[in-house]
């Protein structure tokens, strides 16, 4: 399965303003190119989101971390997967 399938691209296009002030993509092709350039990650569970941020050195126990699943960089796909975009 391709990392950035239609569902991932649709969620990113619909919700991209949660992370960016302006739209960065208007088509699925633009969204795919943008996500590839940023090396955005698709993970299969909330636990994998937490593992990703732990590997990036984020202290998930700190009050600033809050609920990492609500971070602007995290997009819930709706099928158990999450897209992580570090803008």
**pLDDT tens per residue, range 15-29:** 999 999 999 999 999
| Beta-bridge mates of residue 84 | 41, 74
Closest to 8 measured CA to CA, from 50, 43, 60, 38: 43
Domain definitions of the chain by residue range: 6-84
Give the pair of three-digit tokens for residue 87. 């803008």
| Beta-bridge mates of residue 42 | 83
Output the pLDDT for position 61: 77
Quickly tell me which residue has 């943008």 as its tokens: 34
Q: How far apart are CA 85 and CA 87, in angstroms?
A: 6
| Parts of the chain with a pLDDT under 50 | none
Closest to 38 measured CA to CA, from 66, 19, 65: 19
């Amino acid at each position: 399965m391709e990392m950035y399938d239609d569902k991932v691209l649709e969620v990113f296009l619909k919700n991209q303003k949660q992370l960016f002030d302006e739209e960065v993509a208007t088509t699925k092709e633009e969204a795919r190119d943008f996500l590839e350039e940023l090396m955005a990650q698709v993970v299969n569970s909330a636990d994998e989101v937490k593992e990703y941020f732990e590997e990036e050195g984020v202290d998930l126990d700190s009050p600033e971390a809050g609920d990492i699943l609500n971070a602007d960089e995290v997009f819930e796909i709706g099928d158990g997967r999450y897209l992580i975009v570090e803008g």
